[in-house]
Structure 1
Amino acid sequence: MTSSASRHQRHQHRPLRAVALGGGHGLHATLTALREITPDVTAVVTVADDGGSSGRLRREIGLLPPGDLRKALTALAGPEDGNLLWHKVFGHRFGGTGALAGHAVGNLVLAGLFEVIGDPVRALDEAARLLGVSGRVLPMCTEPLDIEADVVGLDEDASAVRRIRGQVAVATTPGRVRRIRLHTADGSDDPPRACPEAVRAVAEADVVLLGPGSWFTSVLPHLLVPELHDAIVSTAAARVVVLNLVPQPGETAGFSPERHLDVLCEHAPRLRMDAVIADADSVPTPDRLRRAATALGARTLLDRVAAAGARHRHDPEALAASLSRALAAV
């Protein structure tokens, strides 16, 4: 494991290189916090969404689901960077009852860029230029994926296992998710191939973050893409887990904070972490969490990182301060 002194030496003459892996609102929180620390932020975004506007575009056009990619772009842009209009436009959703109803403008722009340019990485770089993003947004894979989960608790026999396929179905199941797998959307048995630029970003990073977010559908999928898994396991970067503030109905209902770490171990036994950040008010048994973190090789930081009046949402400034303390200690 690389020492904090050698990590500091790697980036003492340049900004800290940070890579955040996830999707949805959880990744948005991490990216907003990282912008407080460094301008060199890369988001690596899951591409298995099959619901809402993203799901419709994916089914109708066969492109990467754009919604989580759009959220990452707007998180890294930030309305304070002088691009307030484009920030608002990208997030604007059409109303009414017609064909455009429910679509975010940014989703349609990304879908158009994907089709015109033909390369999702180049298309996302172009969208980042349009929004004035200083970092980078990359897809986890350059082809859409499907999530399949083993779920129990859906039958009279509580131990009976059902297989559920699709991100929305997995995220909203009333059963208990035990394990997930990834499949390419074309039905091939070949494992999903990672976006090469995402693998390179992880390999060259100073810090790599997992979480917060939907644990089974936004966080764990990155560890199930072989090339990306290997890059996360072998990178010399500091590896940090940011835990959720509350369990997510369906996916992680009834999960303790330490159970989230146990699930990481079950899906990626070789994974080692350097730090685990959790909200102090969301951890009922700190000693159990510390033991689970220690089993991953990590220190535990219990800070108050929830937004005032919104216990389910991270406060970006508080999370940024906690991340800075975590990096200074590893």
Structure 2
Amino acid sequence: MSLHFTGQLPLTPLPTPVTRQRSHYDPALSVTALGGGHGLYATLSALRLIAGEITAIVTVADDGGSSGTIRQEMDVLPPGDLRMALAALCDDTDWGRTWHDTLQYRFSTRPDSEGTLNNHALGNLLIVALWEQLGNPVDGLRWAGALLGARGSVLPMSTVPLTISGTVLADHDNGGLTTRTVSGQVALATAAAQGRVSHISLFPADAPATPESLEAMELADWVILGPGSWYTSVLPHLLLPQQRDAVCSTPARRALVMNLESDTSETTGMSPADHLNVLQSYAPNLTLDVIIADPDVITQRDEFRAAAEALKAEVVFSRVMSKQSPGVHDPLRLAVALHEAFDRFD
């Protein structure tokens, strides 16, 4: 029997919410989250516990690992961050946990083989197969979400593969500074570990934002940025003109979730306040309603509050770090923090 793909989302019922894990679950709450990689995964894992309508808008500039290989060989969007977003939205049921683990499963080939599939995530291959069958990235992700019983939708920020570039400042042997332009997400992250990123851009600069993403931001109750790699997961959403305008003009409330480590390889020497200043420099019209930060991370609070005030944001300090994994957001703690922040504006 052959399967006929129509490009329409199949009407597969979603699993019943696990109410004992969702004391703050609001089926009417609509949230759109922007980011990529592990940061967006953390936000979506928390939102799944409190929001009934979730849309993830994902960066598409990755060029490393399995995603980079697939992107280069097949001329498609890098699927890795999209896969992680889908995995985060899998429900906490036997079905959801099984598909979560299956999506994230990576092949490991024999050392004596050529290793064509080595380190490829099965979810990446599944997503690309759906894209090839349907000829449309958004439709392919809808079908993938329906198969998984995902609690929300996953969308690329653009249907055009993007390349991120940046200028990196580094110390010179003679005591001065050197500047060099680095192209590609992996190369930029590597170079940033030896210097400081001073400017980033996307190519093509005029790539269109995904229409469904723009609509999701327009219709949401809340739009959330962060956490995540600041220059390669968070800021790209403010670089495409259509996307930036939608973030800045949406009638939805806007929230930002801060990282748990401010001085990372991408943000060497930057304070949490510097992170906020960078956002404002790339999107001067951006205002926020609330910023969620872990009190153990923000040591210079007056400086941080001043930077938040420039964005017209209220700062909410909440312990959102995992006790078991320092530097990682705990989904339940973050869910409570987001719920409490949302309640402030009801």
TM-score (norm 1): 0.92
Deviations 1:39-63 (A, max 9, x none): 2100000000000000000000000
Match of 1:166 among 184, 209, 231: 184
Matches within 5 A, 1:72-83: 72-80=85-93, 82-83=95-96
- Which residue pairs with 1:210 in the alignment? 225
Deviations 1:147-203 (A, max 9, x none): 01011015446433211110011122211001110003xxxxx51110000011011
- Which residue pairs with 1:118 in the alignment? 135
- Which residue pairs with 2:118 in the alignment? 101
SS of match in other structure, 1:137 = strand
Change (3 A) 1:79 1:53: farther
- Which residue pairs with 2:71 in the alignment? 58
Change (3 A) 1:175 1:76: same
Distance 2:277 2:264 in 1: 18
Match of 1:89 among 99, 102, 105: 102
Change (3 A) 1:242 1:80: same
1:147 has 2:160 as partner = no
Change (3 A) 1:192 1:154: farther
Deviations 1:87-124 (A, max 9, x none): 22111100025100000000011111111111000000
Matches within 5 A, 1:39-50: 39-50=52-63
Percent of aligned pairs sharing the same letter = 48
Distance 2:253 2:61 in 1: 27
Distance 2:339 2:200 in 1: 32
- Which residue pairs with 2:327 in the alignment? 312
Matches within 5 A, 1:1-16: 15-16=28-29
Change (3 A) 1:274 1:129: same
Report the CA distance between 1:79 and its aligned residue.
4.1
Distance 1:208 1:321 in 2: 17
Gaps of 5+ in 1: 1-12, 185-189
Gaps of 5+ in 2: 1-25
Deviations 1:12-55 (A, max 9, x none): x9611100000000000000011111121000000000000000
Relative to structure 2, which stretch is displaced further, 285-294 or 24-33?
285-294
8 A contact 1:214–1:248 mirrored in 2: no
SS of match in other structure, 1:311 = coil
- Which residue pairs with 1:8 in the alignment? none
Distance 1:145 1:130 in 2: 27
8 A contact 1:148–1:164 mirrored in 2: yes
Distance 2:320 2:212 in 1: 31
Matches within 5 A, 1:138-287: 138-153=155-170, 155-156=172-173, 158-173=176-191, 174-184=194-204, 191-247=206-262, 249-287=264-302
Relative to structure 2, which stretch is displaced further, 48-57 or 314-323?
314-323
Task: Kindly provide the amino acid, as one letter, of the partner of residue 343 in structure 2.
Answer: A
Report the CA distance between 1:85 and its aligned residue.
2.4
Change (3 A) 1:31 1:81: farther
- Please say which structure displays the higher CA radius of gyration: 2
Task: Kindly provide the amino acid, as one letter, of the partner of residue 37 in structure 1.
Answer: I
Match of 1:134 among 132, 140, 151: 151
8 A contact 1:114–1:120 mirrored in 2: yes
SS of match in other structure, 2:212 = helix
Distance 2:201 2:96 in 1: 39
SS of match in other structure, 1:70 = helix
Deviations 1:241-261 (A, max 9, x none): 100000353211222111110
Change (3 A) 1:100 1:304: same
Task: Kindly provide the amino acid, as one letter, of the partner of residue 112 in structure 1.
Answer: A
Aligned-pair Cα RMSD in Å: 1.5
8 A contact 1:74–1:90 mirrored in 2: yes
Distance 2:272 2:342 in 1: 21
SS of match in other structure, 2:142 = helix
Task: Kindly provide the amino acid, as one letter, of the partner of residue 339 in structure 2.
Answer: S
Q: Of Structure 1 and Structure 2, which has the larger fraction of its residues in helix?
A: 1
Distance 2:94 2:241 in 1: 36
Change (3 A) 1:81 1:141: farther
Report the CA distance between 1:287 and its aligned residue.
1.5
Change (3 A) 1:119 1:272: same
Task: Kindly provide the amino acid, as one letter, of the partner of residue 202 in structure 2.
Answer: L
